[in-house]
Structure 1
Amino acid sequence: MRGTGESVIQMSTPQESSTVHAVAAQPAFSFLTTAYRTADTLPRTIRSVLDQTRTDWELVIVDNGFDDEIAAVVEPYLADPRIRFVRQENAGAAGGTMAAASRATGRYLVPLNSDDAVTPEFCARTGDLLDDDPGIAAVTTDAFQFIDPGERVMTNSYLKDAGIRSVPDPEKPVRLEDVIDGPSPYYTAAIRREMWDALGGLHSDTPLVDDLDFWLRALVAGYDVRMLAQRLGRFRMQSGSVSRPDEPERIEQFEGQRERALTKAAATSEDPEVLAALDRVLRRLRYGQAIRRARLAFRRGDIDDARTHAARAWAQRRTVRVAAIKAGLTLSPRLLGAVHPLKQRLYDRLDTVRKLGLRRG
């Protein structure tokens, strides 16, 4: 359906035919938004696109699951011929984004989650780079972080919260080692259609980190990706966290796929800086895994297993924290058991203060 000039595709049921309206010109930007149980936040996402200072865009919204509440939210906006609506069975977040991409007609594709947003200058700023230099394949940015209710803006940006030390020079391509040893570039970016198609979009054998995998594959393939320091995205954070029984398993799956994606990308290079970056990040990753596994083993009363994981953490990074854990597990597990809940509550409170540190205005 790509390139047909369609403006609105609205499917009320799998059996109904689509409604199509024509548009006069091909847009530069195609925002790709998949919606699943986000009827409360989707209007904000749509309005952020409508507020763009550059107007040559289209927005393709995929109702990922035939949700009538989503359809009711989108319907008033369909009067704008730049907004199109697709309904399909739930194909997951990546599947919804890929469905939007298959119907998009713009030169630059912009994945945009239905609980996130963009600032009014997003298209203008990223478009300046892409329009001026056909050799640039994608432009990513930084993003404000906010929490609901109230869209309260947090102190740190997406990149700063992820621990980036310095934003790459926008005049130079992002390097593979920058992404391996740093945060994944922000998901909402302007991506040339040619690069998206050549890479197969978000198709990935590591679906839990498909955005990271996409950027790694792009850099391995030699594409010129630029990063702007400006906060042109708005990234919604969860306000607090609730522990769930399946959380450790989900974390293990996520980290396993992240390690696989990073290792696969680095394996294509003989650059010492790339290999050194991989070694650093794997040491950090395995250190954190060992600490978490030691804590879980201790909680279930398996002191021997906790000691084993503490020793593995020590092998990765010889920190004061691990030394204290090893000593406690060896000398007085009972005392460590009494101290741990108090320390954990303190960590939880400090983490809550950090996450809720809001920027005035």
Structure 2
Amino acid sequence: MFLSVTSGSSRSVVLDMSINSEEKISVCLLTYNHVHMIEETLASIMDQSVDGFEIIVSDDCSTDGTWELVQQIAAGDERVRAVQPPENRGMPGNANYAVEQSDRPYIALLHHDDIYRTDLLERWVDVAERHPDVAFVFNAYGFEDTDEVHVHPYAERVDGRQFLEGRLFSGWGCPVRGTALIRRSCWDAVGGMHTQFNLLADVDLWMRLAARWAVGYVPEPLISVRQERPEDYPESYSEFSWFRQRMLYEIHAANHLDYYDLSTLRGALAWWRFRGRLSADIFKWLTYAVVRRQKRMLETSAEGASEYEWASIGLVRNLYRKLGQMPLGWREPRRSR
């Protein structure tokens, strides 16, 4: 039996009520060059408290033995299916490829370097089943070897538009760390991940989903985050970079333009607020570079230039870059080994 639930003109989702919730889940685990972690991560997934789910491990053409190890694990557990795109596609391309291999109603999008509590899938699906207008469910996060927990004051069901406007649009951070249970019909409706946004494509995805549907939340640390990065992890994502900031600006701009009608007063005000916040953020980082004598930040600051910044920001950038050429005791860039 199929049940269609509608909570707005563009918020219809379809649920297959004829199968158990466990059998609706496709775990899509994205891997790349994490041979030293993947076995423990997979073990935490295979030890879940529910049965009937499948595990699709999509390896993005690893070169360190991850792919070979995943194949060995898959050969010993019928729930695990190892797949690999024909070429390295980056995180969003690999995510899209993994989801293409599945036909189940729920996608549990997971990553290769976290540890998952045994009731993760059970808790996620419970929220999704009880709130059929929810597009994705996420949770609080713990951090390995520490007592630190990131918990947010959200209800179990959060109005998507309030979440988008009040949280995702209001700052440059994102409370969702890239792991979530996603309703497949909603994933398909928005077209999956946009690959042009690279490792930040999940931020764009949460925005597009929240614009149309509600959001689910579990206020418990169901995931333990491991912060270790491989040696070839892009510096532009592991530390500050203008490239990463510009990517965030582009994601926010694209979603503001899709979400708001700029011909209305509300839309126009939201757009000008966004441009003001963007300009203030660039000014903040430029000023930080000068105060902290970060020469490389000034030398590469043009990489953060946005077509949406105020014209005055370009003048400030040029002035600060000229300061960076003066003998003022600047810190030289670290040399890679």
TM-score normalized by structure 1? 0.65
| Equivalent position of 1:119 in the other structure | 117
Match of 2:69 in 1: 73
User: Equivalent residue for 2:92?
Assistant: 94
Kept in 1: contact 2:127–2:156 (CA 8 A): no
Distance 1:298 1:186 in 2: 28
Q: What residue identity is the alignment partner of 2:36?
A: D
> Any conservation in 1 of the 2:91–2:198 contact (CA below 8 Å)?
no
Q: Secondary structure at the match of 1:237?
A: coil
* Gaps in structure 1 of 5+ consecutive residues: 1-23, 147-151, 160-165, 306-311, 317-325, 342-361
Shift of 1:201: 1.1
**2-side partners of 1:122 and 1:290: how far apart?**
41
Match of residue 242 from structure 2 = 252
* 1:130-279 paired onto structure 2 within 5 Å: 130-146=128-144, 152-153=145-146, 155-157=148-150, 166-174=152-160, 175-177=163-165, 178-182=167-171, 183-184=173-174, 185-220=176-211, 222-238=212-228, 251-267=241-257, 268-269=259-260, 271=266, 278=274
Contact residue 27 and residue 107 of structure 1 kept, 8 A: no
Give 1:155's aligned amino acid. E
Q: CA deviation at 1:153?
A: 2.8
Residue 248 to residue 87, structure 1, CA distance change in 2 (3 Å): closer
> Whole-Å Cα distance in 2 between the matches of residues 235 and 111 of structure 1?
14
Is the aligned partner of 1:31 residue 2:27?
A: yes
1:80 CA drift (Å): 2.2
Residue deviations 1:297-335 (CA, integer Å, cap 9, x gap)? 7637x99x9xxxxxx9xx99xxxxxxxxx9xx8xxx87x
Distance 1:279 1:235, change over 3 A: farther
- Cα distance in 2, alignment partners of residues 277 and 228 from structure 1: 31
Which of 80, 83, 86 aligns to 1:83? It is: 80
Residue 280 of structure 1 and its aligned partner are, at CA, apart by: 6.9
Question: Which residue is 2:13 aligned to?
Answer: none
1:176–1:274: 8 Å Cα contact kept in structure 2?
A: no
Q: Which residue of 2 aligns with 1:104?
A: 102
Q: Which runs of 5+ in 2 are unaligned?
A: 1-19, 302-308, 314-319, 332-337
| Corresponding residue SS for 2:97 | helix
Q: Which has the larger radius of gyration?
A: 1
Deviations 1:273-313 (A, max 9, x none): 9558736742553134313553697637x99x9xxxxxx9x
Distance 2:189 2:63 in 1: 32
Q: Equivalents in 2 of 1:284, 1:228: separation in Å?
A: 33
1:34 aligned counterpart, secondary structure = strand
Alpha-carbon RMSD? 4.2
1:106 is displaced (CA, Å) by 2.4
**Matched residue, 2:7:** none
State the secondary structure of the residue aligned to 1:262.
Answer: helix
Local SS of the residue matching 1:88: coil
Q: Name the structure 2 match of 1:8.
A: none
Amino acid across the alignment from 1:187: G
Inter-partner Cα distance in structure 1 for 2:113 and 2:128: 26
> Which residues of 2 match residues 285-324 of structure 1 at below 5 A?
285-294=281-290, 299=295
CA distance in 2, matches of 1:41, 1:86: 18
**What's the % identity of the aligned pairs?**
20
Can you list the C-alpha shifts for 1:153-204, whole angstroms capped at 9, x where unaligned?
35243x6xxxxxx532223324212112243223110000001111111124
Change (3 A) 1:245 1:132: closer
Opposite residue 110 of structure 2, the aligned amino acid is L
- Relative to the length of structure 2, the TM-score reads 0.69
Aligned AA (1:171): R
- CA shift in 2, pair 1:227/1:276, >3 Å: farther
Partners in 2 of 1:25 and 1:172 — Cα distance? 22
TM-superposition CA deviations, 1:217-270 (whole Å, max 9, x none): 1123x122223322112222138x99x997899811111110011122123325
Please, which moves more after superposition, 86-95 or 246-255?
Answer: 246-255
Structure 2 counterpart of 1:173, one-letter code: D
The alignment partner of 1:238 has SS state of coil
AA at the equivalent of 2:247? Q
Which stretch of structure 1 is more off in the superposition, 251-260 or 280-289?
280-289
Gap change, CA 1:248 and 1:132, over 3 Å in 2: closer
Q: Quick check: 1:181–1:280 contact (8 Å CA) kept in 2?
A: no
